Structure 1
Amino acid sequence: MKRPAADAATPGPSFPPLVLFDLDGTLLDSAPDMLATVNRMRAARGRPALALAELRPHVSKGSRAMSAVAFPELGGQVPDALIREFLDVYAQELGRHGAPFAGVESLLAAIEASGSRWGIVTNKPEYLARQVLDALGWTRRCAVLVGGDSLPQRKPDPLPLLHAAASLGVAVAQCVYVGDDERDVQAARAAHMYCIVALWGYRLADDDPAGWGAEALAARVDALLNQAVWGMAVRGARV
């Protein structure tokens, strides 16, 4: 996985003490890795390759949703064996095609330079998420990682967000969660955690992020360098 050089951090906005991020579609543009995965599965069955535009909107919905797109004849009823195959193939393609979204390295450096910490709460299996962090050199920088199988519940349940905050001894009111999917907002709202929608991520055509109930919407990664987008969260107010 190509790791872009982080820009030198300069004094900028204040950040909440802990910024938690979703991974796929928020920090990482992993759609190319996912496309390589499903196209290997299709090729093994004599099927033609899918185009990136066909798969990309479904990436944040997870392996089952992507498998359903790859094999529409299943009518959405994806067997567990196919999910295991997806994960096995993806583990081989992980990091070969995708990369962090433009501006992510600069954002993470700015958060660190401000004295705040950042972490990841994802529905991706933890072992795969750790492979991503290792490939990007983020393992020591990421203060906390919670995967989709780390706990008994995953997003949209609030438990992963609550666990991430508690594991670092940070009050929920001092955290912000940034994600690109409606489940991210549902989890944050249930946890009473300030939430920002990453509009640069993966969405279906009929998704309406403005109606999800997040406190803020960010059109680009560099919008998160603007003090205003963090709103009351920077001052620790619970919303």
Structure 2
Amino acid sequence: MIKALLFDLDGTLVDTAPDLCGTIQDMQSDRGLDLTPMTAMEHLASGGARALLKIGFGLEPQFADFPAFRAEFLARYEARIAHASSIYSGIRPLLDGLSAKGLRWGVVTNKPYYLAEKLLAELGLLDDCEVLIGGDTAAAPKPSPAPCLLAASRLNTPAQACAMIGDDERDIVAGRDAGMQTVAAGYGYIASPIEAWQADVLVHNTRELQAWVDSLGR
């Protein structure tokens, strides 16, 4: 029986692409460069700074300029973190109804903890989030199962009684390897064939996610 739901953040609970991709565009604009269209970047939002700096500037972690660009990206993003980002339609009522179903919830994200905490706070989700695991909280980020296992431990809930919900294959791999049920959020930033992830459940929108949550109590 599922007792706790663990959500990825970007592309699962919150549409953060406008601010993540907007940060790249701000950096390009200040350098007099052509702007990468939002539609060319938004599917990479779950990949964070690494993926966005690659498409926006052709930078990869082994390049000498990468650390400075990443630091600039993070500082600029923090300044506008919830300027245009929004909670997906249907998510807030879903979360609000979990306690009545006897379900707990938390967030397991690869976003740095300080940014995830600030985003959840600005969107009014932090107070009800029982556990928050950032990309720098556990021994390794997803797809390692370590963040999922740490979240379950902090909730004092067996991993087998948790479900990991996310829009990236890393979420599904991490949850599966932690012994959790997995739910692929097909409405998020899908960058690879979602059926190939072999999640236990596939939902195409938040209405289907709500229906799955409702089925847990039956």
Work out whether the TM-score is over 0.5.
Answer: yes
**Structure-2-length-normalised TM-score:** 0.93
| Residue equivalent to 2:24 | 38
| Residue equivalent to 2:119 | 132
Gaps of at least 5 residues in structure 2 are none
* 1:220 partnered with 2:202: no
Q: What pairs with 1:68-79 in structure 2 (closer than 5 Å)?
A: 68-72=54-58, 74=59, 77=62, 79=66
3-state DSSP class of the match of 1:60? helix
| Residue equivalent to 2:166 | 179
* 1:211 partnered with 2:185: no
| Residue equivalent to 2:154 | 167
Gaps of at least 5 residues in structure 1 are 1-14
- CA deviation digits over 1:38-72, x for unaligned, max 9? 01111121112222101101111121101101113
Give the whole-Å Cα distance in 2 for the aligned partners of 1:43 and 1:115. 48
- CA deviation digits over 1:157-187, x for unaligned, max 9? 0000000001111011110010000111111
Kindly tell me the number of residue pairs found equivalent between the two proteins.
215
| Residue equivalent to 1:111 | 98
Match of 1:142 among 129, 141, 150: 129
* 1:47 partnered with 2:47: no
Work out the percentage of aligned pairs sharing the same amino acid: 37
- CA deviation digits over 1:78-110, x for unaligned, max 9? 512211111011001100011011111111112
**Aligned-residue offset at 1:76:** 7.3
- CA distance change for structure 1 residues 76 and 69 in 2, over 3 Å: closer, same or farther? farther
Given that residues 38 and 86 in structure 1 are in contact (C-alpha distance below 8 angstroms), is that contact kept between their aligned partners in structure 2?
yes
**Aligned-residue offset at 1:133:** 1.3
Match of 1:60 among 20, 38, 46: 46
Give the whole-Å Cα distance in 2 for the aligned partners of 1:17 and 1:62. 30
Give the whole-Å Cα distance in 1 for the aligned partners of 2:188 and 2:46. 8
Given that residues 133 and 139 in structure 1 are in contact (C-alpha distance below 8 angstroms), is that contact kept between their aligned partners in structure 2?
yes
3-state DSSP class of the match of 1:118? strand
Given that residues 65 and 76 in structure 1 are in contact (C-alpha distance below 8 angstroms), is that contact kept between their aligned partners in structure 2?
no
